[in-house]
Amino acid sequence: MLTTSFMKNYSEAKVKVREATSTNPWVSLSEIMDVIYHRMNDCGKNWRQFFKCLMLLDCFINSGSEQVTPLSRGLLQH
């Protein structure tokens, strides 16, 4: 898909939306939570990253998988 996006000269935003809505399988929730956890631990370096992680967690908690809570607890205990 990146080749198609490059050939059609899509903006970076369009490329990201195309990737997010593609037919490719999604990554696992635990992988996503791991990235969120690491980014939130770097909060002093970039407040916007921390804020976006909180927004993503809010979305997961309110409308996502029931696995978010146990995964969050597990990451916090490490």
pLDDT of 72: 79
Domain map (residue ranges) of the chain: 2-77
Q: CB within 8 A of 76, min separation 6: which ones?
A: 37
pLDDT in tens, the chain (78 residues): 556 665 678 899 998 888 888 888 878 888 888 888 888 887 667 888 888 888 988 888 888 778 888 887 877 676
68 with 57: CB under 8 angstroms?
A: yes
Give pTM, 2 decimals: 0.65
Distance, in Å, from the CA atom of 33 to the CA atom of 41, rounded to the nearest integer, reads 12
pLDDT of residue 5: 61
> Quick one: pLDDT at residue 18?
86
